[in-house]
A and B are shown apart, each in its own frame.
Chain A
Amino acid sequence: MKNKVLYTINKSELDKLIGILQRDGYRVVGPTVRDGAITYEEIESVRQLPIGWTDSHAPGRYRLNRRNDDQLFGFVVGPHSLKKFFFPPKQRLFGIKRDGESGYVFEARQPDPPRYAFLGVRACDLAAVGVQDRVFKQAMAEPYYAKARDDALFIAVNCTEPGGTCFCGSMGTGPRCTEGYDLALTELRTTFTVEVGTNKGRQLVEALEHETTDANTSHLVDLLMDNASEHMGRTLDTENLPEILLKNLSHEHWDEIAKRCMSCSNCTFACPTCFCSNVEDSTDLSGNHAERWRTWGSCFTLEFSYHTGGYSRSSPAARYRQWLTHKLANWHEQFETSGCVGCGRCITWCPVGIDITKEATTIANDVKRSRANQEAKRLEEVGS
């Protein structure tokens, strides 16, 4: 990646870029300050970006702070990922109307998704879109998702200052964007360097005032990326982790976590890869009209595991274990990738600050320790 040609554009070109995207019929979505956080919203100009803001992340704690400069992308990730744009939280799937005595009319058509251009997307969020592609495009062939996704344009921004709950370095998804973008920017003091990912991206760069980045600046970008990799707020050792977790489903630590876990589902909805949903049919009072709706669902609710005979995961410990082991272990088997991209949202946005890296590491370390003890004992017995 480091040998890729970089271009340099002035920061003032960014408004021009937004204008071009709007002219091309894109709905431009970018980070903006709303309700004490940086969220993805539809934007019309650079002025709406979080200029001079940064965010601090800790388990169960998020705060916005002023920076001492005017960086446009001087923050990490907000509470929202791109998930809500491709997989809306509430969606009507179809309606049925009674027609005459015995007939029905289906209204199955959904409105087409808007054409989105995402500005300021991070490497972890791009990776998450890749993970959701495997679920919604390959495993499920979800038409709304596929259309929204294929029409979308991604202008990513490399992270130079990871946050307190970030661990993309451990999950191999960041901090540098390596795939899935049309353009990837790195913010410097007065300029951006630009990496081109697609032909669409190339056309955009050519429409802007640009020059080839000199070797020194290119080297600076590499240094910034290396520095970012070394300053992750969290780490997670993923070696043998799926095997360790799946062989220790009765580990006592699951019950310890359950004393703190509220089963409130916040982690699953903040997670950019969690894809579960509820499907509900409803009728109106007249009995002549019915609708089917899909809403975000969560494995932390009782209803999620309800079947004839009751709930298969009635204890909070079973529900947390299901979520963590699916994310970090079973996902590999199911989709040939980890379900975790290391964005840290489940840690920051857990109201009581439960930390997936800490919980998984506690179990893994304990298992490794007891395995080492057993091995030492075995060797001792063999030796004696």
Chain B
Amino acid sequence: MEPGPYDIGLVEGSISTPEEAERIVQVRKECRFLVTIGACATSGGIQALKNWADVEEYKRIVYASPQYIDTLDTASPVAAFVLVDFELRGCPVNKYQLVEVITALIAGRRPQIATSPVCLECKRAGNVCVMVAEGTPCLGPITHAGCGALCPTYGRGCYSCFGPSESAAAEALCAHCEKTGTSKPTIVRMLRSFNGYLEPFKQVGDKYERQAVNN
């Protein structure tokens, strides 16, 4: 890294290795505003699935020479290690939202990034709700807006690339999905994708996993 200081630092990716855990502290020191972008940097990303597994076992299975692999036991969001000024969600992020964050920081105002659920974008777009009209499980009601309701616009349920919305009612949505025929293991898989390690997805996913195992 070229020595700073920088006005704005954009960080992608999770903290997965001891070296990254050290480097992020230095990055923080060099940047006036530290902005993390994307699901990996804001939630740990898909690689955070290892947080539920035995990393030593993974290393032995995946790598021919596991002794060369230097990794932490968990993949974590940057904000678990240093203070982050703004977290921009999404897998991938929305480029217009990225421009909005940078514009706002330059202008000295608050970025206009809604934290409400995808449903608001979906209804404003005039979409027919896939949950109600098709019975498709959809994470839209508990997912942070920003994608413009991309998947429901094409008739698919939301996968929560943007992670939990403000006051995400994961418990209520999952109870309804279960009542309408989605199995417990499927609910666990729905919650544990790009943003599975963020709350309340983690807690509710863990609860359903325990119940699935006990059944």
Residues of A within 8 A of B (CB): 34-37, 39, 60-63, 79-80, 84, 89-90, 259-266, 269-270, 280, 282-285, 287, 295-296, 298, 300-303, 314, 316, 348-353
In the complex, are the beta carbons of A302 and B123 less than 8 A apart? no
Sort A-B residue pairs by CB-CB distance and give the 5 closest, nearest first. A264-B141, A269-B123, A89-B124, A262-B169, A301-B116
Shortest distance between the CB of A127 and any CB in chain B (Å)? 21
In the complex, are the beta carbons of B176 and A351 less than 8 A apart? yes
Contact of B117 with A by CB under 8 A: yes
Contact of B173 with A by CB under 8 A: yes
Contact of B132 with A by CB under 8 A: yes
Q: Which residue of B lies closest to A79 (CB)?
A: B128
Q: Give the residues in chain A near B131, CB-CB below 8 Å.
A: 60, 351
In the complex, are the beta carbons of B126 and A89 less than 8 A apart? yes
In the complex, are the beta carbons of A302 and B167 less than 8 A apart? yes
Q: Which residue of B lies closest to A35 (CB)?
A: B128
In the complex, are the beta carbons of A298 and B120 less than 8 A apart? yes
CA A103 to CA B117, docked complex, whole Å: 39
Q: Give the residues in chain A near B173, CB-CB below 8 Å.
A: 262, 351-352
Q: Give the residues in chain B near A36, CB-CB below 8 Å.
A: 128, 133-134
Given contacts A269-B120, A316-B169, 9 further A-B contacts (CB under 8 A): A61-B132, A62-B133, A264-B119, A269-B119, A284-B103, A300-B116, A302-B167, A348-B132, A351-B132
In the complex, are the beta carbons of A266 and B123 less than 8 A apart? yes
Contact of B107 with A by CB under 8 A: yes
In the complex, are the beta carbons of B128 and A265 less than 8 A apart? no
In the complex, are the beta carbons of B120 and A260 less than 8 A apart? no
Contact of B172 among A61, A260, A265, A282 (CB under 8 A): A260
In the complex, are the beta carbons of A262 and B126 less than 8 A apart? no
Contact of B78 with A by CB under 8 A: no
Q: Give the residues in chain A near B133, CB-CB below 8 Å.
A: 35-37, 62-63, 79
Contact of A39 among B124, B128, B166 (CB under 8 A): B128
Q: Which residue of B lies closest to A84 (CB)?
A: B126
In the complex, are the beta carbons of A269 and B128 less than 8 A apart? no
Shortest distance between the CB of A46 and any CB in chain B (Å)? 23
Contact with A along B166-183 (1 / 0, CB 8 A): 110101110110000000
Residues of B within 8 A of A (CB): 99-100, 102-103, 106-107, 109, 112, 114-117, 119-120, 123-129, 131-135, 138, 140-142, 155, 166-167, 169, 171-173, 175-176
Contact of B124 among A62, A259, A263, A296 (CB under 8 A): A296
Q: What are 27 A-to-B residue pairs whose CB atoms are below 8 Å? A: A35-B128, A37-B128, A37-B133, A39-B128, A60-B176, A62-B133, A79-B132, A84-B126, A89-B123, A89-B124, A260-B175, A261-B169, A262-B142, A264-B119, A265-B120, A266-B119, A269-B120, A270-B123, A282-B103, A295-B124, A296-B120, A296-B124, A302-B167, A316-B167, A348-B132, A351-B131, A353-B176
Contact of A282 among B112, B125, B167 (CB under 8 A): B112
CA A83 to CA B114, docked complex, whole Å: 23
Q: Give the residues in chain A near B102, CB-CB below 8 Å.
A: 285
Q: Give the residues in chain B near A39, CB-CB below 8 Å.
A: 126, 128
CA A217 to CA B61, docked complex, whole Å: 79
Contacts A60-B176, A262-B173, A264-B117 known; A35 to B132 CB distance under 8 Å? no
Q: Give the residues in chain B near A314, CB-CB below 8 Å.
A: 167
In the complex, are the beta carbons of A283 and B123 less than 8 A apart? no
CA A248 to CA B175, docked complex, whole Å: 28
Q: Which residue of B lies closest to A61 (CB)?
A: B132
CA A89 to CA B175, docked complex, whole Å: 31
Q: Which residue of A lies closest to B118 (CB)?
A: A264
In the complex, are the beta carbons of A302 and B116 less than 8 A apart? yes
Contacts A61-B132, A259-B172 known; A265 to B115 CB distance under 8 Å? no
In the complex, are the beta carbons of A263 and B128 less than 8 A apart? no
Contacts A302-B115, A302-B167 known; A296 to B129 CB distance under 8 Å? no
Shortest distance between the CB of B38 and any CB in chain A (Å)? 21
In the complex, are the beta carbons of A351 and B124 less than 8 A apart? no
Q: Which residue of A lies closest to B107 (CB)?
A: A283
Q: Give the residues in chain A near B141, CB-CB below 8 Å.
A: 262, 264, 266, 351-352
In the complex, are the beta carbons of B120 and A263 less than 8 A apart? no
Q: Give the residues in chain A near B123, CB-CB below 8 Å.
A: 89, 265-266, 269-270, 296
Q: Which residue of A lies closest to B135 (CB)?
A: A61
Determine which residue in A36, A295, A296 has the highest number of CB atoms from chain B within 10 A of its CB, and name it. Answer: A36
In the complex, are the beta carbons of A265 and B132 less than 8 A apart? no
Q: Which residue of A lies closest to B155 (CB)?
A: A35
CA A283 to CA B100, docked complex, whole Å: 8
CA A243 to CA B171, docked complex, whole Å: 33
CA A62 to CA B124, docked complex, whole Å: 19
Shortest distance between the CB of A134 and any CB in chain B (Å)? 23
Contact of A262 among B125, B134, B172 (CB under 8 A): B172
Q: Which residue of B lies closest to A290 (CB)?
A: B107
Q: Give the residues in chain A near B134, CB-CB below 8 Å.
A: 36
Shortest distance between the CB of B183 and any CB in chain A (Å)? 18
Q: Give the residues in chain B near A84, CB-CB below 8 Å.
A: 126
In the complex, are the beta carbons of B138 and A351 less than 8 A apart? yes
